[in-house]
C-alpha cells in the first residue's frame, strides 16, 4: 500500500497536502480499500467552514455510509467538482484525481497532530498486525485440529 | 445497532469454508453471529458476475429446523401462512412463520422431504428463535430438531448456473423447475439440489454434509472457471436481493410487521383452514393496512439508507428499510414503509439524508427482473 512522502496523515485515514496556508484533503489508499467500491460522495460547499475532527464529507459504498473527518480547521476554497459524477475516482486515484477539498487553514498548529508517511504506515501496520496475528494463531489451531481428525 | 463491545465476548461462528474464504482474500465481517465473507474482489464486480454469468455464495450460516413425525405437516400448516398441502413431491415453498398477531417471526423456505419429514430453511439471525417457537408448539406427534450444524449450503446463482452445475451431476437439472428440488450426487457428494435463490437470477442452492463443504466448493469453482464463475459475498447478495425487491428479515420484516403490509399477501392462504395469526390478518385485511412497503427511486443525488425518514411536505410518512446504489441500474434505489394513503406508484416524496431533504419517487417493484430464458439463450455467453 502506498503512502506518499510529501503528505500528512490523520488517524481517521485522511491525507493533507500543505501549500502555504492552504491544505488539500483526501482519503488514503487504506481508507478507500477498506470502504470498497465508492458510489457516492457528498462534499461541503465553497466558503463553508470545516472543523478539525468533525465530519466534513460523506463517502458511500454500495454497502454503507462513512463520514470523512477534517484533519484541520479552515474555510473551503475549492471542492473537487468531478467527484459527484465519478466517485470511483477515489478508489482509482486517492492521492491524485480523487482529492476532495482544498481549505484555507485557520490554525497551522493543527498540522502538528498529523503523522508523516512513515508514522502512518507504522500506524496501519500496528492496526492490521494486531488482527492478523490473532487470526494466524487461530488458523494454525484449526489446521492442527484438522490434522488430528 | 450492534451489541455493546463488552457483550461481544461470544466467539463468532464460522462455516467449514472459513479458511477457503480467507485464502481467497475475502473481507470478513460479523453477520448474525457468524464471521462471513462480505466481498472477495468487490461488491459491484461480484454483483455483475451473478447478473451476467454466475456467482458462488457460501450461505451455510442459514439455519435448518427439521420436523418429523405423523404430526409434522399439521404442525407446519398451523405455524405458517402458505398452504403446504398444495405441494407436489419435490416442490419447495416460500413461507412465513407468523405469531398470533400475524406478525412475521421469520420468512423461510420449506422443503417437504418425505410425508412425515419437513426441512425448514430459516434466517441465520432467527435460527434459535424459530426453533424455540416451533418446538414449544410441537405437542406429542411431531419431533423438532435444530439441524443447522448438519448442513452446509452453497448458492450457485446466475444465468450460467445450470450449465456449470450440470458438469458435476447426473441429475437432469433442466427438469428441476423453480422452487423444486432433487436429491443426488454433485461432484460425488450426496446433496439436496434446489432451484431456489435470493438473487433474482436463475440458480441453485445445494445442501450437503459439512465435512464435504470444501470439496463441493472446489468442485463448483473448478467447473465454473471457464464460465467466469466468481465467489460472491454477502455484500453482493444484499444488493442483488434488493434489486429484486426480496425482503430481508430485520430490515423489511420483523415480528410486528404483517404480510399484508410487506407485499407478501400472496403467501397467505386464508382458505387453507386455521393457522396462527389468521384472525388478526383477516381483520387487518378487512380494515385495511396503515402502512405499506414501497419501492423508491431517488430523483435527486443521494442514497437512501435504512432508518432514514420518508417525508411528504415535511410530514413523516415512514422510514427507509434498505437502500443502495443499484449496480445493475446505476440508480439509487430503496425499500421503505409509508402510510398507506401515500403508497401509490408515481407519488413524489422526500428522503431525509443527513439533514437534507432529497427528492424520491415511488416506483413499481421489483426494480430489476431478469430476462426470460429464451431471450437469454439467444444472447449466448
- CATH of residue A88's domain is 2.40.50.100
Point out the residue among B22, B27, B235 whose CB comes nearest to the CB of A62.
Answer: B235
* pLDDT score for A140: 53
B372 pLDDT band, cuts 50/70/90, is confident
Strands B189-194 and B181-186 turn out to be antiparallel
Q: What chain B residue is nearest to A86 in terms of C-alpha separation?
A: B330
Q: pLDDT, tens digit, for every residue of B16-66?
A: 999 999 999 999 999 999 999 999 999 999 999 999 999 999 999 999 999
* pLDDT score for B25: 96
Which structural domain, as residue segments, surrounds residue A46? 8-148
Does A64 fall in a domain?
yes
Q: Dihedral sign, CA of B339, B341, B342, B343?
A: positive
* pLDDT score for B342: 98
Q: What chain A residue is nearest to B334 in terms of C-alpha separation?
A: A62
- Give chain A positions within 8 Å (CB) of B301: 40, 84
Partners of residue B203 on adjacent β-strands: B157
As averages over each run of 10 residues, the pLDDT of chain A (149 residues) reads 94 96 97 95 96 96 94 98 95 97 97 96 85 56 50
Q: Which CATH superfamily is domain B63-147 in?
A: Aminomethyltransferase beta-barrel domains (3.30.70.1400)
Q: Does B15 touch chain A (CB under 8 A)?
A: no
Does A1 fall in a domain?
no
Instruction: Please determine, for the modelled complex, whether the ipTM score is greater than 0.90.
Output: no
- Give chain A positions within 8 Å (CB) of B22: 135, 139
* pLDDT score for A63: 87
* pLDDT score for A127: 80
Ranges of each domain in chain B = 7-59+151-243, 63-147, 290-363
Those residues whose C-beta lies under 8 Å from the C-beta of residue B85, and which sit 6 or more positions away, are: B73, B77, B272
How many other C-beta atoms lie within 10 A of the C-beta of residue B171?
17
Mean pLDDT of all residues in B365-372: 92
Q: Does A113 touch chain B (CB under 8 A)?
A: no
Point out the residue among B19, B325, B354 whose CB comes nearest to the CB of A62.
Answer: B325
* pLDDT score for A136: 56
Among A63, A139, A147, the strongest candidate for a mutation testing the B interface, having the largest count of B CBs within 10 A, is A63
DSSP character string of B18-49: HHHHHHTTPEEEEETTEEEEEESS-HHHHHHH
Does A3 fall in a domain?
no
Q: Which CATH number fits domain B7-59+151-243: 3.30.360.10, 3.20.20.70, 3.30.1360.120, 3.40.50.300?
A: 3.30.1360.120
Does A54 fall in a domain?
yes
Does A125 fall in a domain?
yes
Does A110 fall in a domain?
yes
Between positions 235 and 264 of B, the ones with CB within 8 A of A are 235, 238-239
Point out the residue among A36, A58, A135 whose CB comes nearest to the CB of B43.
Answer: A36
Mean of the per-residue pLDDT values for chain B?
A: 95
* pLDDT score for B140: 85
What are the helix and strand counts (H, E) for chain A? 3, 9
pLDDT of residue B4 exceeding 90, the answer is: no
A42/B42 touch (CB, cutoff 8 Å), yes or no: no
> Distance between CA atoms of A100 and A89, rounded to whole angstroms?
10
* pLDDT score for B11: 87
Q: pLDDT, tens digit, for every residue of B119-136?
A: 999 999 999 999 999 999
Q: pLDDT, tens digit, for every residue of A115-144?
A: 999 999 999 998 876 666 555 555 555 555
A36/B18 touch (CB, cutoff 8 Å), yes or no: no
- CATH code given to domain B290-363: 2.40.30.110
pLDDT of residue B275 exceeding 80, the answer is: yes
B43/A63 touch (CB, cutoff 8 Å), yes or no: yes
Q: What chain B residue is nearest to A34 in terms of C-alpha separation?
A: B27
* C-alpha cell belonging to residue B245: 425487491
Number of domains in chain A: 1
Amino acid at each position: 500500500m502506498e503512502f506518499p512522502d510529501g503528505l500528512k496523515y490523520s488517524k481517521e485515514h485522511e491525507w493533507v497536502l500543505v501549500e502555504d496556508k492552504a491544505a488539500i484533503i483526501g482519503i488514503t489508499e487504506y481508507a478507500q480499500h477498506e470502504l470498497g467500491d465508492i458510489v457516492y460522495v457528498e462534499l461541503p460547499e465553497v466558503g463553508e467552514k470545516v472543523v478539525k475532527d468533525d465530519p466534513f464529507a460523506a463517502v458511500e459504498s454500495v454497502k454503507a455510509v462513512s463520514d470523512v473527518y477534517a484533519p484541520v480547521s479552515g474555510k473551503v476554497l475549492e471542492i473537487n467538482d468531478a467527484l459527484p459524477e465519478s466517485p470511483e475516482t477515489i478508489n482509482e486515484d486517492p492521492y491524485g484525481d480523487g482529492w476532495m477539498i482544498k481549505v484555507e487553514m485557520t490554525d497551522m498548529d493543527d498540522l502538528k497532530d498529523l503523522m508523516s508517511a512513515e508514522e502512518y504506515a507504522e500506524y496501519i501496520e500496528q492496526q492490521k498486525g494486531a488482527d492478523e496475528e490473532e487470526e494466524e494463531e487461530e488458523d494454525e489451531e484449526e489446521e492442527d485440529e484438522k490434522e488430528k481428525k | 445497532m450492534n451489541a455493546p463491545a463488552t457483550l461481544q465476548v461470544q466467539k463468532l461462528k464460522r462455516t467449514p469454508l472459513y479458511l477457503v474464504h480467507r485464502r481467497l482474500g475475502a473481507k470478513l465481517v460479523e453477520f448474525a453471529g457468524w464471521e462471513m465473507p462480505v466481498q472477495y474482489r468487490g461488491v459491484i464486480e461480484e454483483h455483475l458476475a451473478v447478473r451476467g454469468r454466475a456467482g458462488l455464495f457460501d450461505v451455510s450460516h442459514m439455519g435448518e429446523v427439521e420436523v418429523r413425525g405423523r404430526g409434522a405437516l399439521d404442525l407446519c400448516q398451523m405455524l405458517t401462512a402458505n398452504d403446504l398441502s398444495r405441494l407436489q413431491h419435490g416442490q419447495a415453498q416460500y413461507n412465513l412463520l407468523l405469531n398470533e398477531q400475524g406478525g412475521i417471526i421469520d420468512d423461510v423456505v420449506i422443503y417437504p422431504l418425505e410425508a412425515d419429514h419437513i426441512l425448514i430453511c430459516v434466517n441465520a439471525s432467527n435460527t434459535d428463535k424459530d426453533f424455540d417457537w416451533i418446538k414449544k408448539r410441537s405437542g406429542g406427534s411431531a419431533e423438532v430438531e435444530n439441524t443447522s450444524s448438519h448442513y452446509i449450503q452453497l448458492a450457485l446463482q446466475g444465468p450460467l448456473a445450470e450449465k456449470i452445475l450440470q458438469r458435476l451431476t447426473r441429475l437432469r437439472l433442466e427438469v428441476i423447475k423453480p422452487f423444486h428440488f432433487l436429491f443426488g450426487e454433485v461432484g460425488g457428494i450426496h446433496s439436496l439440489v434446489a432451484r431456489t435463490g435470493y438473487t433474482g437470477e436463475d440458480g441453485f442452492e445445494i445442501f450437503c454434509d459439512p465435512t464435504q463443504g470444501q470439496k463441493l466448493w472446489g468442485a463448483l469453482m473448478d467447473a465454473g472457471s471457464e464460465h467466469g464463475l466468481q465467489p460472491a459475498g454477502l455484500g453482493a447478495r444484499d444488493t442483488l436481493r434488493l434489486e429484486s425487491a426480496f425482503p430481508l428479515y430485520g430490515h423489511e420484516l420483523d415480528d410486528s410487521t404483517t404480510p399484508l403490509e410487506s407485499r407478501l399477501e400472496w403467501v397467505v392462504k386464508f382458505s387453507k383452514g386455521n393457522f396462527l395469526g389468521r384472525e388478526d390478518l383477516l381483520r387487518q385485511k378487512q380494515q385495511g393496512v396503515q402502512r405499506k412497503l414501497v419501492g423508491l427511486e431517488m430523483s435527486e443525488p443521494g442514497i437512501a439508507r435504512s432508518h432514514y425518514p420518508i417525508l411528504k411536505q415535511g410530514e413523516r410518512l415512514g422510514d427507509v428499510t434498505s437502500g443502495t446504489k443499484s449496480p445493475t441500474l446505476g440508480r439509487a434505489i430503496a425499500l421503505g414503509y409509508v402510510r398507506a394513503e401515500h403508497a401509490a406508484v408515481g407519488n413524489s416524496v422526500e428522503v431525509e439524508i443527513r439533514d437534507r431533504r432529497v427528492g424520491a419517487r415511488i416506483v413499481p417493484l421489483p426494480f430489476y427482473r431478469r430476462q426470460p430464458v429464451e431471450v437469454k439463450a439467444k444472447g449466448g455467453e
